[in-house]
Amino acid sequence: MDDFTSGSSSFVRASAPASVGGGREENYAHSLGMQAYVWGFPWIYNAQLRWLWTTPDGRKVSQQSGKPDLYAPVNSFHHNTQLASPTNSKSGGSPNCDTLYSTAWLDVTHDPIVISVPAVTDRFYCIEMVCMDADNFAYVGTTSTGTEPGNYLIAGPGWSGTVPDGVLDILPRSRTVSIFLLGRTGVNDTTQQDLDKAIAIQAQYRLTPLSLWPNTPPPTPSHVLVPDGFDYNNTAGAWRTMNAAMTQNPPGLPPGIAQGQLLKLFSTVGIGPGQDVERQSEATRAGLQRAAQDGLTMLKSMAKGHGKLVNGWTCPPLDLGRAGQSSDFITRAALQSLAGICANDPAEAVYLNAFTDNRGDQLNGRDHYRIMFGAGHFPPCDATRHGFWSITMYGSDYNLVANSAHYTINGYYPDYQDRDAAGGMTILMQSGDPGQLPTGTYWLRSPATDTFYLILRMYVPGPEVSVTQTWAPPKIVRLP
């Protein structure tokens, strides 16, 4: 959910794998299917995640296949009460070590949901609200709604009912009736006492169907669309899952951008709401199956990072989080969905990643590196709203470096407030223990025999990061 990569603004600007075989009809379906797969991938991925995370059968599959067990019935929260570490987080995804996650899937087909939050005055928090298409539509949290307690209405497209006293109807409407919530609750230091405070805040996040307000019912087992396969890497049922999920959650409903022409185009090969690929010719089905395979290969390639490069760090496109609303469907599919399920709006958080050093070589555990923040040139974050920054190291498996106690540096923590005589900070990266370090110098332990990468996270970043992208992160210098 926090794995960040960056992309350019386009529909598709990557060369598709070379087409192999097939006649004109099959090749046409393959060509159009590549575009449709990019456009519709979030419906495949989210249908699978929703089933895995909200149903007892999905939970069993998650446990058996080693996927994260985030089970909670529809319209209820799952709270992770541990910060990610090398010992408890081994499923990839570049987990952040700064906040506790809370996740929920909502269904507002027949009834809006009221989300209730407590006063949160001593730390950063946000609850991101995401449509089935992987684009955000609203937030509750420090930046968006402030620090006071509140009850906020979450409603689907076109809903216009009566809202009772005590419930604020200020959030934009969702574009789909299925909604994913991703909450992040900041942890301010390494003590158990502060972790307990964050957990207590999580426990006060509440979801209530409007018709039952203010009484919250106990969670009940969910019945959701069963996808045709639970792993996006198996593309055999991709089109059937996409069509079924789009039938429940059609693209292009207001207040989203109109997509009528795309819907009409893709329906010519049996893709979209109410469509059935099984009614297509054998040649068309063959072309679509190749398109699903090649489309996924392309998305994986695009998710590696291909945006604005500054001193070796990849900066995100400014439409990240709502890229589909800019018709930037490749960013939506590859970066928001595949790489992280969803992505924060830049005003909430911006993630920069780095895979190479100042010479352009892959970061690896054989070499030693240095990052230096000069006085007055730390990542700009709004401290008045509890904004902060962190740098975290990951191995090639997208996990925190195994057996390391030095895998992240959090600029908010008291442990990392010392500065050198000039007011700056130095971060060393090497596999071996550097021993006693000078004041203002800290160590990230790299894997001894593996490559690695870094993510610089900035929560509530300044406009020079979230708007103008004029702040330049320091170089990662390879030492002699």
* Spatial contact of 352 and 461, defined as CB atoms under 8 Å apart: no
CB-CB neighbours of 399 under 10 Å: 18
- Helices 238-248 and 282-302, axial angle in degrees (round to 10): 80
* Spatial contact of 340 and 320, defined as CB atoms under 8 Å apart: no
Residue 305 pLDDT = 64
Residue 8 pLDDT = 31
Tokens 């109807």, located at residue: 169
Taking only Cα atoms into account, the Rg of the chain, rounded to an integer number of angstroms, comes to 23
* Spatial contact of 102 and 78, defined as CB atoms under 8 Å apart: yes
Residue 3 pLDDT = 41
Residue 66 pLDDT = 83
Tokens 């529809």, located at residue: 74
- Going by C-alpha positions, the residue among 244, 233, 298 that lies closest to residue 271 is 244
Residue 218 pLDDT = 85
Sign of the four-CA dihedral 458, 463, 465, 471: negative
Per-residue pLDDT of the chain (480 residues; tens, 9 = 90+): 654 333 333 333 333 444 456 799 999 999 999 999 999 999 999 999 999 999 999 999 999 988 889 999 999 999 999 999 998 887 777 889 999 999 999 999 999 999 999 999 999 999 999 999 999 999 999 999 999 999 999 999 989 999 999 999 999 999 999 999 999 999 999 999 999 999 999 999 999 999 999 998 888 888 899 999 999 999 999 999 999 999 999 999 999 999 999 999 999 999 999 999 999 999 999 999 999 999 999 999 888 766 789 999 999 899 999 999 999 999 999 999 998 899 999 999 999 999 999 999 999 999 999 999 999 999 999 999 999 999 999 999 888 999 999 999 999 999 999 999 999 999 999 999 999 999 999 999 999 999 999 999 999 999 999 999 999 999 999 999
Residue 10 pLDDT = 32
Query: Which pair of structure tokens corresponds to residue 158?
Result: 């076109």
CB within 8 Å of 54: residues ≥ 6 apart: 71, 72, 73, 74, 105, 222, 224
Tokens 């006492």, located at residue: 193
Domains of the chain: 1-303 (2.60.40.1610), 355-478 (2.60.120.1600)
Q: Could you tell me the pTM of the whole model?
A: 0.92
- What span, in angstroms and rounded, lies between the C-alpha atoms of 469 and 303? 20
Question: Which helix (H) or strand (E) covers residue 352, if one does?
Answer: strand 349-354
